[in-house]
Amino acid sequence: MERVEIEILEIDEEKIKFKLKNVDRSFANSLRRVIISEVPTMAIDLVHIRANTNVLPDEYISHRLGLIPLDSSNVDNY
Does the structure show a pLDDT above 90 at 74? no
**Pairing mode of beta strands 16-21, 5-11:** antiparallel
Could you report the per-residue pLDDT of 12-68, keeping only the tens digit for each?
Answer: 988 899 999 999 999 999 999 998 888 777 888 899 999 999 999 999 999 999 888
Looking at residue 4, the DSSP 8-state letter turns out to be P
Long-range contact list for 10-15, CB < 8 A, 24+ apart?
A: none
Tell me, what's the pLDDT at 29? 95
Position 10 scores a pLDDT of 95
Residue 25's SS3 state is helix
**H or E element at residue 61:** helix 58-66
Give me the residues paired with residue 16 across strands: 11
pLDDT of residue 1: 65
